Amino acid sequence: MARESGNSMVIPKQGHVIAIDGPAGTGKSSATRRLAERLGFVHVDTGALYRAIGLLALEGRAEGDQVSEIARSAHLEFRRIEGKNPANRIFVNGRDVTDQIRTPEISMAASRVSAIPAVRLALLSLQRRLGCAGNSILEGRDIGTVIFPDADVKFFLTASIDVRVKRRLLELQGSGGVIPSFDELKSQMIERDRGDSSRAVAPLSKAEDAIEIDTGPLTLDQVVQRMLEKVRGCLDGLPQSGVAALKK
Ligand code: DC
C-alpha cells in the first residue's frame, strides 16, 4: 500500500529498480532500451514526461503557475505497442505525442518546465508508481538522487559535448524533421545542460553510489555489456529472463 511522507509518496517496490542518469546525448535512451530488453525489465523514459508537459505548455503558451496546473492535471500514460518493432509510446490526455516531442524545440521546452518545482512534484509520484510496479529501469536526470535514491543499481553516463552533439544530430537525421547545424545544436545542448544542472530542485547530478560510464569511446554494445556486468555483480534473485540474459 502507498503511504504519504511529507510531499512525496513512498511506495513499496515490487521488483528491482535500476536508475540511469546523465545529460542528453550520452546514449542513455538507447542503452536503457537495450538493457531493459536483455533483462526483461520495463523501460521508463522519464524525460518523455517532461517533454509531454513542455509540449502542452508551448501549445497553450503557458507560463509559471499555468504550467504547474498543466502538469498537475495532465493524464500521462505509457502504452506498449507490441509487434514487429515493439515500442513504448507516450500518451498525454489520450493523445499519442511520441514523435512530436523529439524536436530540439521541445527539448528546450522540457528543460524549462522541468525547472519548475511544482512540475517536478506533480511528476514525482507517477515516476515512483511506474518504477515500483515491477522490475524496471528508469532513465532521467534525478532518478538515482531523488526518485529512487534506494535504487538497486545506479548508473551515471557521461560523454564529451562534441560526442553528444554528433549523436543527437544522427538521431535527428533519422527523424525526418528540421536539422539544426552542429554549432546551433551544441549551444542549445550547453544551455540545456546548464539549466538542468543548476536548477534549484533536483538538478542533474551523479548520485554518490552511481557507477559512472564515459560512453564516448564505447559502442552501444560495449556500454550495455558493461552495464550487464555491473548489474550481475549487484543483483541477485533476478527473474528468470534476467538471469538468462546475464548468463549470456
Ligand atoms: O532525457 P530527455 O532529453 O528526454 O529530457 C528532457 C528534459 O527533461 C531534460 O532537459 C531535463 C528534463 N528531465 C528532468 O528534469 N528530469 C528527468 N528525470 C528527466 C528529464
Pick one of 2.40.50.100, 3.20.20.150, 3.40.50.300, 3.40.50.2300 as the CATH number of 16-231: 3.40.50.300
- Tell me the pTM: 0.90
Q: Whose CA is nearest to atom 16 of ligand 1?
A: 141
Question: Relative to the CA of 24, which ligand 1 atom is closest?
Answer: 3
CB-ligand 1 contact for 192 (6 Å cutoff): yes
Q: For the residues 194-206, what does the mean pLDDT come to?
A: 93
Domain ranges of the chain: 16-231
Q: What is the pLDDT of residue 240?
A: 46
Residue 3 has pLDDT above 50, yes or no: no
Cα 193 to ligand 1 centre (Å) = 10
Average pLDDT over residues 4-30: 79
The preferred substitution site among 28, 44, 50, 171 for testing ligand 1, maximizing ligand atoms within 8 Å of CB, is 50
* Residue 243 to residue 248: CA distance in whole angstroms: 9
Q: How far apart, in whole angstroms, are the C-alpha atoms of residue 41 and residue 35?
A: 8
Kindly indicate the confidence band of residue 5, based on its pLDDT and cuts at 50, 70 and 90.
very low
Distance 177 CA to ligand 1 centre (A): 20
Nearest protein CA to atom 4 of ligand 1, as residue = 47
pLDDT, tens digit, for every residue of 125-164? 999 999 998 899 999 999 999 999 999 999 999 999 999 9
Distance CA 201, CA 248 (A): 40
Q: Position 4: which residue type?
A: E
At 28, the amino acid letter reads K
Q: How many CB atoms are located within 10 Å of the residue 175 CB? A: 11
Atom 14 of ligand 1, nearest CA residue? 141
Q: What is the mean pLDDT of residues 61-73?
A: 96
Task: Give the integer Cα–Cα distance in Å for 196 and 107.
Answer: 11
Atom of ligand 1 nearest to the CA of 139: 18
> What is residue 190's predicted lDDT score, i.e. its pLDDT?
95
Q: What pLDDT, on a 0 to 100 scale, did the predictor assign at position 48?
A: 97
Distance between CA 230 and CA 113 in Å, rounded?
34
Cell numbers linked to 108: 528546450
Choosing from 21, 46, 138 the residue with most ligand 1 atoms within 8 A of its CB, the one to mutate for a pocket test is: 46
